Structures are given as C-alpha cells and as structure tokens.
Amino acid sequence: MSRKLEIKYLFLLIVIYIAACIETDIYLPAFPDMMSWFSASEGSIQNLLTWNFIGICIAGPLYGPISDAVGRKKPLFIALGLFFLGSLITIFAQTINQMLLGRVLQGLGSGGCFTLGTAILFDAFQKEKAIRALNQLNLIIPLIMAMAPMLGAYLNLTYGFRSNFLTIALFVFASLVISIAFFEETHPKEKRTPLKITSILLDFKKAFSSKPFWQLTLVMCILFSAYISFLSGSAILFVVEFNMSKAVFPFVQGAILGGWVIGSLTLEKAIKKWGVFSIKKAGIALSALFGLTAVAFALLFPKNPYLLTAAMTFYAFGANWVIGLYFPEGMEILPDIKGITSSLMTSARLLVASITVSLVGYTYNGTIYPLAIVIGLTIAIILPTLYLYEKSAGKNSISAN
C-alpha cells in the first residue's frame, strides 16, 4: 500500500472513530446540570452512560459477522445513520427516558464505528503496519478525547448541556457525509464468508473457546472499566460532594486523559528502545502500582480529588501501554475471523464497563470508596490473568520451535 493510500485510510479511520470517541467525554462535565434539569438521581444520570454501552454491546456482535459477509461499507453507513438519529433524539429529549432512548441508539451506532473501524484497520494494513497505524491513531484520537471534556464544559457553561449533544450530532453527520463520499470497500468479495447462522455460530464458538483471546480481552475489559468508572463517578463526586468548580473539573478529567495521550506518544519509541516484552512489564507495573496508589489515597485522603487524579493519571499511562500492546496481539490470535473478534472485544469491554458503572452508580454514597473497590479489584484480576497468559504463550512458543 502506498503512503498516500495509508494516509487516506488513517484519515477515514479518524473520521469513523471521532464521534464515537468523544460522545462520552464531552458530556460528562454536564452531569450535575442534567441531574438538576431532569430532576434525576446520580444513578439515573449514570444510566445514560450505562445504556449507551449496552447499545454498543448489542450492536457489536452483529456488525462483525454481517460485515464479514457483505463488506464493511453498508454496515458502516447504517451504524452512522443510527448514531445520527440517536443524537437528534438527545438534543430534543424532554424526559430522562427519552434521553435514555437516544443514548441507546447512539450506542447501537457507535458500536458499529468501533467494531467496523477496527476491522477496516486490520483489512487495510498488514500486521506490522496495522500496529503502527494503531499507534498513530492512539496519538491523534486521545488528543481529541483530552480536549472533549474541556470543550464540553465550555459548551455546558455557555450554552447549556444540550449543546454537547448538538456537537456530537454535528460530528456524526460530518462522519457520515465524508464516509459516503470517500470510503472504498476494504473487505473484497473473495474474502467474504456467507452469512449463514451455522457458520456464524461455529465462528463464535471458535472465538469463545480460545482461552488466550479471552485472557487478553478480560484484561482490556477490566482496565477500561476502572478508567471509565472513575471518569463517570468523579464527574458527580468531585463537583457535588467535594465542591469542585465546574470550570475546574474538565482540567482534572483532561489530566487523566493526558496520561493516556502521553502513553500513546511514548509507546512506539519505548518499544524500539527496550523491546515489546520490557514495555509490557513496565505498563503492567505502572497500572498496578498507581492503581494501588489510588486505593491508598482513597483510604488516607478520601476527600482530596487532586491526589486521586494524579494516581489515576499514571494508571492511565500504564493502561495505555498494556492495551496498546495486547490489543493487536489479541486480534491476531484468530486472524481469519477479525470481524467477530473485534466485535467481541468491543462488546465485552463495554459490557463489563456498563455493569461496573451501574454498580458504582447503584452503590453511590457520596464517597470515593465504591470507585476505590473497583480499582483494587482491577489490579487483583489483571495481574494473575496476564501472568497465566504469558506463561502459556511462552510454552506455546517453545513448542512451535
């Protein structure tokens, strides 16, 4: 593939991902105002995030096999169409239930953006170039995500919370128009598999029976869940309970996203200097160490949001390295069913996140402790899981030789 074509696909992937990536972060600073306007509880407002994730989870397993059978183009247009419809509903919603409906439709659409975007990336780029393209996306998209809460806070303070959802709708509409105009099919007919229920079930069985695939998927699910739960929970906790200014909070949230951005910026250079295995160990150590530090700060300084934020910023840095290395590795475990594996990874990650956010909302008591429990359990799960995966991978490598 020529460099010009690579740049084109990178641009299209950013277009596909951008609205899906900002739809969460841009409106989190508006949570307190939305609670007031809809006369809703903390748990009800956090359900806007939960039900959005549920929509993504429902959609993910569908887009994968359908796109393997008919190509990526038509499912992508359908996904962006649903995303836009849901965005319009959120703009004009007058009740919390109407807002929830819009968020579910947004999830059904954005799920396609995540799943199909991943499949398109691995269609268009070979393994080594796919990792490089993924790292390049991880440089650009987190920068956009880091700016999203600041933009959301400005829009919320200046024009009200609905302006956040209008902004999402405009991004989705632009993505749809650009994709229709420039996207060319990346999954040729000769590589497509017929959309047969038996065949699909066999492919899903193949994926579900792969222990290494699920070990890596579990790690990414858990790391992401702790991260998104902290962003969601702190949006209410810091402003409502800790009396943090609504103008200051986006910068606190931006700091955590900044940790992710710096991880992205340094990952490729770190791999070249120290090697993949060393960076895996460093990423695991950073996420575990600062996850436990966040738990310690929650116990010792439970009402200090800045210490908690500092720890979670370094946690995000380490989590980026872990996910950035293990995600492409997981995709290559079952290379012949990438549509299904990408959909399962996306759906599982967001299903676990939606359950976690719901539990945090349900157990909300005005303290940091529910979030601290989530972070502590995250570290307790990922360390033995990655140890077992690497141990098994090492044995398989020796056997292959």
Domains of the chain: 3-400 (1.20.1250.20)
A 10 A CB-CB count for 189 gives 8
Cα 30 to Cα 11: distance, rounded to the nearest angstrom: 30
Residue with tokens 């020796």: 398
pLDDT in tens, the chain (401 residues): 567 777 888 888 888 888 887 887 788 888 889 999 999 887 788 888 888 888 877 876 788 778 888 889 999 999 999 999 999 999 999 999 999 999 999 999 988 888 888 788 888 887 667 767 776 776 677 667 667 777 888 898 899 999 999 999 999 999 999 999 888 888 888 888 777 778 778 888 888 899 999 999 999 999 988 988 888 788 778 988 898 888 888 888 888 878 887 887 788 889 989 998 899 999 999 999 999 999 999 999 999 999 999 999 999 999 989 988 898 888 888 887 776 787 788 778 777 877 787 788 778 888 999 999 999 999 999 999 999 999 887 655 444 44
DSSP symbol at 215: H
pLDDT digits (tens, 9 = 90+) for 56-82: 778 767 887 788 888 899 999 999 999
Could you tell me if 312 and 256 are in contact, meaning their C-beta atoms sit under 8 angstroms apart?
yes
pTM here?
0.72
Cα 243 to Cα 139: distance, rounded to the nearest angstrom: 33
CA angle 69, 75, 79 (to 5 degrees): 150
Cα 372 to Cα 296: distance, rounded to the nearest angstrom: 9
Residue 42 carries which side chain, given as an amino acid letter? E
List all residues 6 or more positions away from 16 whose beta carbon is below 8 Å from its beta carbon: 76, 113, 116, 117, 120, 175, 179
Instruction: Tell me what pLDDT residue 19 has.
Output: 86
Q: Which two tokens stand for residue 385?
A: 């899981």
Question: φ and ψ at 199, to 5 degrees?
Answer: -65, -40
Could you tell me if 342 and 215 are in contact, meaning their C-beta atoms sit under 8 angstroms apart?
no
Instruction: Tell me what pLDDT residue 401 has.
Output: 42
Instruction: Tell me what pLDDT residue 399 has.
Output: 47
Instruction: Tell me what pLDDT residue 176 has.
Output: 93
Whole-number Cα distances in Å, 48 to 78, 89, 142, 384: 22, 13, 22, 33
Q: DSSP letters along 279-311, please? A: HHHHHHHHHHHHHHHHHHHHHHSTT-HHHHHHH
For 27, the enclosing helix (H) or strand (E) is none
**Class of residue 285 by CB neighbours under 10 A (exposed 0-12, middle 13-18, buried 19+):** middle
Q: Which two tokens stand for residue 16?
A: 């596909």
Q: DSSP letters along 49-63, please? A: HHHHHHHHHHHHHHH
Helix orientation angle between 42-70 and 31-38, rounded to the nearest 10 degrees: 110
pLDDT digits (tens, 9 = 90+) for 139-171: 677 667 667 777 888 898 899 999 999 999 999
Cα 82 to Cα 75: distance, rounded to the nearest angstrom: 11
Q: How far apart are the first and last CA of the chain?
A: 32
Instruction: Tell me what pLDDT residue 400 has.
Output: 46
Residue 203 carries which side chain, given as an amino acid letter? D
Helix orientation angle between 73-92 and 42-70, rounded to the nearest 10 degrees: 160
Cα 255 to Cα 249: distance, rounded to the nearest angstrom: 10
